[in-house]
Structure 1
């Protein structure tokens, strides 16, 4: 007589890591099309911004993140998580509206788009079984923003965005925001510069927002997918990260 086992199925860690690596590689693929649309590369985009805007980018980013944390968290009680295509469509519409008026409207749209991106990241955390109300999950959601942006020349993000820890700990969210803001400021500066392109502002705004939403959704799946795999597969996060690095053709981090 065959006895049924109630034990959970064994997790194939290598298969799951391969899926995560594939998602990592596809992140930001739309960004190349955006760069082709506006002409030039990501490196000189920020140079197109007026001096005062460049100097205040980091402060504007901190303000946008603070706004996004409050708005994204409070909105969960009355706005459910949406499907991926709907998030991308809404983001593209906001980008078009922001780009239609050039830099002034693009700056006004920045905290709204940041809020949507954070909601998308929170939604991915929920899909992987994490509580968005938990402090360490909120920290991780912000940490995803420290990945290189979709206009980066890399084939995804710098894997360093995962290496801080799978579950951040800290005394306050402000410390996490301060850590993430400088890099995100560069990413958002590229977006603003793309939206400020004469004539193409609305089109570039829609394209960049679509690219950013798709990108950060993918990176959130990488981040929380690894965190879930560490739990389900009972594998130390550092070991998983090094195995992912090897799959990506990058050198492991010494322990």
Structure 2
């Protein structure tokens, strides 16, 4: 699949169309935010309570394991594009849901084995969205942005500031910058993935919990990737400064009517 050239070729879109696009992206953000509450309600507990179900040794190793999983997932997701092209969002979501169910059937050992594979598929899902929005996932700057989407934490994380963090200005895109970004994202993502592990290990819920959590995670990151790359595309199409556009978007998503959908 070819990636369209995002250079502005004609006149920029109107201010009215820009505002409509911002509103549409704000609604995507609100829908993503609602997914986490659905999972927490289904599991019957707070994120902190769910995290507390993890054995202490696993909690202690989560940050380092998550950083390594992100590095491996980036390479695995990138290599997979040479074998299988972009996948429709529903297919990626179906695959992760099935994997969550399989991991849940195996209890904590099954969930631990499933986690890095699901991370790679989630990252691949984000890359597919980037391509859908017109960006080339093989470009280092786009690979950086794909990791940056993970900075929006995940559907079990209730910190709104974390959800906004991924909209910030990028560092210079170099190998060390990408490693620095992974190191910065890993602690937040480790906490969220730890909640996912604990949820999948809940007795009785088993496979159903694994499937539900993965379904929500995949939908969340699909929506947040559309927000991230949609804003970058809109900045080009509207011939607007990206930071200025992000500031407008922040105002929209922190307004009470949009913030919680």
Structure 1 and Structure 2 fold alike (TM over 0.5)? yes
Query: 1:115 and 1:207 mapped to 2: Cα distance?
Result: 18
Per the TM alignment, residue 225 of structure 1 is displaced from its structure 2 partner at its CA by 0.5
Across the aligned residues of Structure 1 and Structure 2, the Cα RMSD in angstroms comes to 1.8
Superposed CA deviations along residues 91-131 of structure 1, whole A, max 9, x for unmatched, are: 10000011111111111111100010001000011011111
Match of 1:94 in 2: 99
* Alignment correspondent of 2:173: 169
Which residue matches 1:211?
A: 216
2:198 matches 1:193: yes
SS of the residue 2:48 aligns to: coil
1 CA distance for matches of 2:98 and 2:156? Answer: 19
Aligned to 2:142: 137
Q: Which protein is bigger by CA-based radius of gyration?
A: 1
Q: Measure how far apart 1:31 and its partner are.
A: 2.4
How far the C-alpha of 1:216 sits from its partner, in A, is: 0.3
1:7, 1:232 → 2: CA distance? 9
67 and 61 in structure 1: CA distance in 2 versus 1, 3 angstrom threshold: same
- Does the C-alpha gap of structure 1 residues 162 and 168 become closer, same or farther in structure 2, counting only changes over 3 Å? farther
Instruction: Give the 3-state SS of the residue equivalent to 1:204 in structure 2.
Output: helix
TM-score scaled to structure 2, two decimals? 0.88
From 6, 13, 36, the counterpart of 1:10: 13
Higher helix share: 2
Matching of residue 240 in structure 1 with residue 255 in structure 2: no
- Using the alignment, how far apart are the partners of 2:192 and 2:180 within structure 1? 19
The answer on 1:32 being equivalent to 2:48 is no
Matched, 1:158 2:163: yes
Q: Does 1:108 align with 2:122?
A: no
State the alpha-carbon separation in 1 of the partners of residues 102 and 124 from structure 2.
20
| Aligned: 1:59 with 2:98 | no
Match of 1:3 in 2: none
My pick for the range that moved more, 47-56 or 149-158, is 149-158
Q: 1:89/1:28 Cα in 2 relative to 1: closer, same or farther (>3 Å)? A: farther
Farther off after superposition, 104-113 or 29-38:
29-38
2:6 counterpart residue number: none
On the 8 A contact 2:77/2:121 being kept in 1, the answer is yes
Q: Which runs of 5 or more residues in structure 1 are unaligned? A: 1-5, 251-255
Q: Secondary structure at the match of 2:155?
A: coil
The equivalent of 1:253 in structure 2 is none
Cα distance in 1, alignment partners of residues 186 and 159 from structure 2 = 20
Figure out how many residues of one structure are paired with residues of the other and give that number.
244
Q: Does the aligned pair in 2 maintain the 1:27–1:156 contact within 8 Å?
A: no
Q: TM-score, normalised by structure 1?
A: 0.90
Moved more, 33-42 or 70-79: 33-42
Q: 1: CA distance between counterparts of 2:185 and 2:128?
A: 20
Distance 2:216 2:133 in 1: 22
Cα distance in 1 for partners of 2:149, 2:68 equals 17
